[in-house]
Amino acid sequence: MTLLFALLLAAAPAGAPPAERFERANALYRTGDFAGAAAGYEALVSDGFTSPSLHLNLGNARLRLGRRGQAIASWERALRLDPGDEDAIGNLRSARRDDPDRALAGEPTLFARVVERTGDGLAAALFLVPWWLLWGALGWRHQRGGSARRAASAAALLAAAGVLAGGALLAGRARDRHLPIAVLVAPSTPVREGPSAALKGAFELHEGTRVRLRGAEGDFVLVRLDGGLEGWVARGDVEPL
Amino acid sequence: MSRRTGSALAAFAAFAALAAASPAAAARAPSVEAVVDRSELGQEEILRLSVRAEASEPPARLDPPATPFDFEIVGSSHSQQSSMTFAGGQIQARHSVQWLLGLAPRRSGTLTVPPFTVTIGSVRLATAPITVKVLPAGKGTRPAPAAPSAPPPAQPPAPAAGWRGWERDLWLDVQVDEKRPWLGEQVTASVFIVSPVGVIGMEGFKPPPYDGFWAETLEIPQRLEPARRMVNGIPVWSFLVQRIALFPTRAGKLTIEPFQADVTVQVLSGNRLFDPFRSVEQVRRRSAPVLLDVRPLPPGAPPGFESVNVGSLSLELAPGERTVPAGEPLALRITARGEGNVRAWSLPPLPPIAGTRRFDPASSERLAPARGRIAGSRTAETLLIPERPGELSIPPLTWPFFDPKTGRYEVARTAGLRLPVTGGDGGSAPPSASAALRAELRPIRAGDPLGRSGPPPWRRLPFAILFLLPPAGFAAVVARERLRERARLDAPARRVRGAERAARRRLSAAARRLQAGDGAGFVAEVERALTGYAADKLGRPVIGLTREVLAATLAGAGAHPPALRALLAALDACDAARFGGAPPGEPLLDAAAAAMTLLEEGVGSRGTEGRA
């Protein structure tokens, strides 16, 4: 009976409204059909839909299927959309508790953590607000004299500092997109000194470890750990966020 | 200068009253007085010497005798008072300083407090010597310190009366809040350093082995904070060293063995009363043992009771998820909360549940001491794996405990749980996803609106607009202001440049008036065209100028004689038409136009250049 229900749900037309498709995938998950649920969520993602809940649920389904690395990638995506998503944070914390690469991977810098936990919209706002304030203060300064001019100068300086901070944040977010973060999805993968399978692995990374993609060549991508280690891994072993 | 020597208690009291009174002795010569609080004392007691100096300028210093004398100065303090009075139309200041010294006799017998010297400006005044009788130790005028019933060798007793010197009045004090606790009930022991002098540090704190107790640290202050405390009428400093919660593990007589600490204090060195470098001393102190009478738990314990479950407790049973697929792990948490020996609580076991597999429970505690009591929660988490779909039924749990507040046994209960088990993947999840991780998984969410993933905000048009708008607005404001300024500066030149155009417009207007039959208006318009042209070119009004002056001014501006003649002729023709009855007509219009053409040849370019 459950199987029949799952088949009926899975047979839902792809042209149905996305909210309906999402609910169907959730229903599959609740009935224990995690493969069907994951397929439903992944179809929504590949159709260009996104939301923190979609990626959270996809991560849960993937974990239930034993795809821990892919689950971590999904939760990371949920967190990028909503840096305060408690569910995604909790799942990631649990999933990374016994991370074998923790010592090797190193810790991201404070700035990197702030950039990562700041949403794109918030970063843009944190830049634009002082930007407007800066130009407003400059305009005010242009039209005033005496103490008002001094106050406007001080306000402009403060706003300029805010523009610099917001600009750094925005630049960090842009860099994250330019050099995307990825998660290893293979249970373990050798990291080589060059983009060739003939080279012996220098060290090994494991499922769920975060890396930054720095380039690609053939079937290999160059990855860098927060601690500074670099190397080439098979392209299929990582999933960019 | 006046001197007075007193040696009686009454004199001391009178002196103290005088010191507290307003400065009635203003406008007197400098004076120094010394009194002691008694004339007879025991060798272990402290004599209090009060030296008071009054003068019109502040007394600066009190110097003890230069050579050792029969007393040791064990403490000092001073207070200062100033007053202003009006006398004879003048303001007079009066300053008084009072020093209070504690003197410990070095021996018994009739001893003399030698003169102390007070320096007031350039004057040095000395107190008179004071004789007191010092009785041998134990025969003092005040009751001797009460010895504790069984003092340990290294434990100085608390001072029962009077000052006995800092070394004897400094001790480690252990206070307990309950001397007859129940078995397993918390006894809070607080360890203090009690000292009559300043404590600047403590090292080598050694707690006892707590034999017969389960100990939990409640509080260890980051630094020694002094608090004032009276011990038998003597003010002392009290420093909390540690606060411990002790849970007796057996009934009967139990002893909290002595604590030990090396205490560093700062004391006056010898007779150097005002030596800024006071000496630092370190002494070792041990507390007195504290005897407790631990009561056994009363009879009548309910079945399943364990003697470690003592406190004010509650029990809770909670599942990790409300629904669980078959084959998936479900975390069941049994949590006890309350006040008591949290780490020692023995939680009730989960009864066998049919149709499930289970892992060994994992325990965790969270201590949250509150108001000096150990409190918190202890949780036992068991992972259950339902083997088939259906309903998972967990029966209610009971947990007996003893509440020392009421002195009775109580039973904490939980409600039973019924959880639906859905069809799952039969527990066939690959081993890489650990059961524990899946048990901690947050539930999926629904109802979140889906959006389209797109480019980041900074690559969208609104961002570009919001980015460019402020500098563009600023540039617009600046440009507008510059244009306004330029227009303001350029107005005269523009007027010069536009003079001919304005005059031609007026001549056209005059022609229309002529065609309309308005002769007077025609003449007036022609005249306005000519004088307006001249005014614009010269940059000044020309009304009121005589023709000669106008001609001369225009000549100065570059107009050549034929142009001047033509202008004057045209103006004369206007006058003739207006006042002489000459008919207004085209000739006047032509004359005016010709005059302007000629003037433009000379004045036109020069006028513009002059303005520029």
- Is residue B452 within 8 angstroms of chain A, CB to CB? yes
Which of B247, B265, B294 is a domain's end point? B294
Q: Which of A54, A91, A136 sits opposite B450 (nearest CB)?
A: A54
Instruction: Tell me the pLDDT of chain B averaged across its residues.
Output: 79
* Domain membership flag for residue B150: no
Sequence letter at residue B519: G
| Residues belonging to chain B | 612
The CA-atom distances, in angstroms, between B222 and each of A109, B188, B216 are 32, 19, 17
Task: Output phi, psi for B132, to 5 deg.
Answer: -135, 160
* Domain membership flag for residue B92: yes
Q: What is the pLDDT of residues A219-228, one digit of tens each?
A: 899 998 887 8
Q: How far apart are CA B583 and CA B520, in angstroms?
A: 10
**Taking residues B175-201, what's their average pLDDT?**
90
User: Are residues A57 and B467, on separate chains, in Cβ contact within 8 Å?
Assistant: no
For residues B13 and B128, membership in a common domain is answered with yes
Q: What is the pLDDT of residues B531-582, one digit of tens each?
A: 888 888 888 888 788 888 888 888 888 888 888 888 888 888 888 888 877 7
End-to-end CA distance of chain B: 95
Name every chain A residue with its beta carbon within 8 A of the beta carbon of B419.
none
Counting one residue from A and one from B, how many pairs have CB atoms under 8 Å apart?
137
Q: Are B345 and B309 in contact (CB under 8 A)?
A: yes
End-to-end CA distance of chain A: 37
Cα A69-A75-A79 angle, rounded to 5 deg: 140
State the best of B324, B450, B466, B480 to mutate against chain A, taking most chain A CBs within 10 Å. Answer: B450
Q: Are B145 and B234 in contact (CB under 8 A)?
A: no
> Shortest Cα distance from B425 to chain A (angstroms)?
6
Furthest C-alpha separation in chain A: 83
Helix (H) or strand (E) segment spanning residue B481: helix B461-497
Kindly tell me if the per-residue pLDDT of B310 is higher than 90. Answer: yes
**Taking residues B189-215, what's their average pLDDT?**
87
Name every chain B residue with its beta carbon within 8 A of the beta carbon of A53.
444-448
Name every chain B residue with its beta carbon within 8 A of the beta carbon of A52.
448
Pick from B17-26, B54-63, B118-127, B502-511: least confident = B17-26
pLDDT at site B429: 43
For residues B131 and B206, membership in a common domain is answered with no
Characterize B283-307 residue by residue with b for buried, 16 or more Cβ atoms within 10 angstroms of its Cβ, and e for exposed: eebbbbebebebbebeeeeeeebbb
pLDDT at site A108: 78
Given phi > 0 = left and psi -120 to 50 = alpha, else beta, which region is A238?
Answer: beta
For residues B333 and B435, membership in a common domain is answered with yes
- Is residue B423 within 8 angstroms of chain A, CB to CB? yes
Q: What is the pLDDT of residues A140-194, one digit of tens each?
A: 888 877 788 888 999 999 999 999 999 999 998 888 777 788 999 888 888 888 8
- Is residue B446 within 8 angstroms of chain A, CB to CB? yes
Name every chain A residue with its beta carbon within 8 A of the beta carbon of B429.
64-66
Instruction: Name the range with the highest mean pLDDT among B95-99, B102-106, B131-135, B433-437.
Output: B131-135
Kindly tell me if the per-residue pLDDT of B232 is higher than 50. Answer: yes
Q: Where are the alpha helices (DSSP H) in A65-199?
A: 68-81, 86-95, 102-105, 110-116, 120-143, 146-178
CATH of the domain at B371: 2.60.40
- Is residue B325 within 8 angstroms of chain A, CB to CB? yes
Which tops the pLDDT comparison, B65 or B277?
B65
Name every chain A residue with its beta carbon within 8 A of the beta carbon of B331.
none
- Is residue B474 within 8 angstroms of chain A, CB to CB? yes
Q: Give the rounded percent of residues in chain B with a pLDDT score beyond 70.
A: 82
Selection from B223, B235, B263 nearest residue B77 by Cα: B235
- Cβ neighbours around B356 below 10 Å, total: 19
* Domain membership flag for residue B476: no
* Domain membership flag for residue B300: no
* Domain membership flag for residue B165: no
* Domain membership flag for residue B43: yes
Q: What is the pLDDT of residues B251-263, one digit of tens each?
A: 899 999 999 998 8
Give the contacts of B214 (CB within 8 A, at least 6 positions apart): B246, B247, B249, B341, B343, B344
**Quick one: DSSP state of residue A16?**
S
- Is residue B445 within 8 angstroms of chain A, CB to CB? yes
Tokens describing residue B156:
């100085």
* Domain membership flag for residue B406: yes
User: Are residues B328 and A64, on separate chains, in Cβ contact within 8 Å?
Assistant: yes
- Is residue B8 within 8 angstroms of chain A, CB to CB? no
CA dihedral B358, B363, B364, B370 (to 10 degrees): 120
Provide the domain count of chain B: 4
pLDDT at site A55: 93
- Cβ neighbours around B22 below 10 Å, total: 10
For residues B197 and B225, membership in a common domain is answered with yes
User: Are residues A53 and B445, on separate chains, in Cβ contact within 8 Å?
Assistant: yes
Name every chain A residue with its beta carbon within 8 A of the beta carbon of B388.
none
pLDDT band of A4, cuts 50, 70, 90: very low
In a 3-state reduction of DSSP, which class is residue B536?
helix
User: Are residues A51 and B431, on separate chains, in Cβ contact within 8 Å?
Assistant: no
For residues B422 and B518, membership in a common domain is answered with no
User: Are residues A128 and B463, on separate chains, in Cβ contact within 8 Å?
Assistant: yes
Name every chain B residue with its beta carbon within 8 A of the beta carbon of A50.
450-453
For residues B275 and B373, membership in a common domain is answered with no
- Is residue B456 within 8 angstroms of chain A, CB to CB? yes
> Shortest Cα distance from B328 to chain A (angstroms)?
9
Selection from A79, A63, A28 nearest residue B441 by Cα: A63
Q: How far apart are CA B263 and CA B205, in angstroms?
A: 9
- Is residue B429 within 8 angstroms of chain A, CB to CB? yes
For residues B130 and B179, membership in a common domain is answered with no
Question: What burial class does residue B541 get, using C-beta atoms within 10 Å of its C-beta: 0-12 exposed, 13-18 middle, 19+ buried?
Answer: exposed
User: Are residues B474 and A142, on separate chains, in Cβ contact within 8 Å?
Assistant: yes
Q: What is the pLDDT of residues B431-472, one digit of tens each?
A: 444 566 777 788 888 867 788 777 888 888 999 999 999 999
pLDDT band of B225, cuts 50, 70, 90: confident
Q: Are B215 and B244 in contact (CB under 8 A)?
A: yes
pLDDT at site B202: 86
Q: What is the pLDDT of residues B501-516, one digit of tens each?
A: 888 899 999 999 888 8
Helix (H) or strand (E) segment spanning residue A25: helix A18-30
Selection from B408, B176, B410, B179 nearest residue B297 by Cα: B408
| Residues belonging to chain A | 241
The CA-atom distances, in angstroms, between B69 and each of A31, B66, B116, B164, B294 are 97, 9, 12, 19, 55
Tokens describing residue B8:
């009686």
pLDDT band of B76, cuts 50, 70, 90: low
Q: How far apart are CA B388 and CA B328, in angstroms?
A: 10
Rounded to the nearest 10 degrees, the angle between the axes of helix B499-515 and helix B461-497 is: 70
**Taking residues A116-140, what's their average pLDDT?**
90
pLDDT band of B164, cuts 50, 70, 90: low
Q: What is the pLDDT of residues A32-60, one digit of tens each?
A: 888 999 999 999 999 888 899 999 999 99
> Shortest Cα distance from A205 to chain B (angstroms)?
15
For residues B543 and B591, membership in a common domain is answered with yes
For residues B364 and B426, membership in a common domain is answered with yes
pLDDT band of B73, cuts 50, 70, 90: confident
User: Are residues A19 and B440, on separate chains, in Cβ contact within 8 Å?
Assistant: no
User: Are residues A22 and B446, on separate chains, in Cβ contact within 8 Å?
Assistant: yes
Q: Which of A48, A86, A88 sits opposite B452 (nearest CB)?
A: A48
Selection from B203, B197, B205 nearest residue B237 by Cα: B197
pLDDT at site B75: 67
Q: Which of B432, B446, B452 sits opposite A66 (nearest CB)?
A: B432
pLDDT at site B431: 42
Handedness of CA A173, A179, A184, A188 (dihedral sign): negative
Domain that holds residue B346: 312-439
pLDDT at site B74: 66
pLDDT band of B15, cuts 50, 70, 90: very low
Segment B316-320 long-range contacts (CB within 8 Å, at least 24 positions apart)? B316/B414, B317/B394, B317/B397, B317/B414, B317/B415, B317/B417, B319/B394, B319/B417, B319/B419, B320/B439, B320/B440
Handedness of CA B21, B24, B30, B32 (dihedral sign): negative
Sequence letter at residue B284: R
* Domain membership flag for residue B478: no
User: Are residues B325 and A32, on separate chains, in Cβ contact within 8 Å?
Assistant: yes
Q: Give the rounded percent of residues in chain B with a pLDDT score beyond 90.
A: 19
**Taking residues B325-334, what's their average pLDDT?**
81
For residues B366 and B428, membership in a common domain is answered with yes
Task: Output phi, psi for B313, to 5 deg.
Answer: -125, 160
State the best of A64, A82, A127 to mutate against chain B, taking most chain B CBs within 10 Å. Answer: A64
For residues B121 and B195, membership in a common domain is answered with no
pLDDT at site B141: 52
Name every chain B residue with its beta carbon within 8 A of the beta carbon of A129.
none
Q: How far apart are CA B570 and CA B591, in angstroms?
A: 6
> Shortest Cα distance from A227 to chain B (angstroms)?
26
Q: Which of B438, B448, B453 sits opposite A48 (nearest CB)?
A: B453
For residues B282 and B202, membership in a common domain is answered with yes
**Quick one: DSSP state of residue B309?**
-
Which of B439, B454, B486 is a domain's end point? B439
Which tops the pLDDT comparison, B350 or A8?
B350
- Is residue B433 within 8 angstroms of chain A, CB to CB? yes
pLDDT band of B31, cuts 50, 70, 90: confident
Which of B294, B322, B349 is a domain's end point? B294
Which tops the pLDDT comparison, B27 or B119?
B119
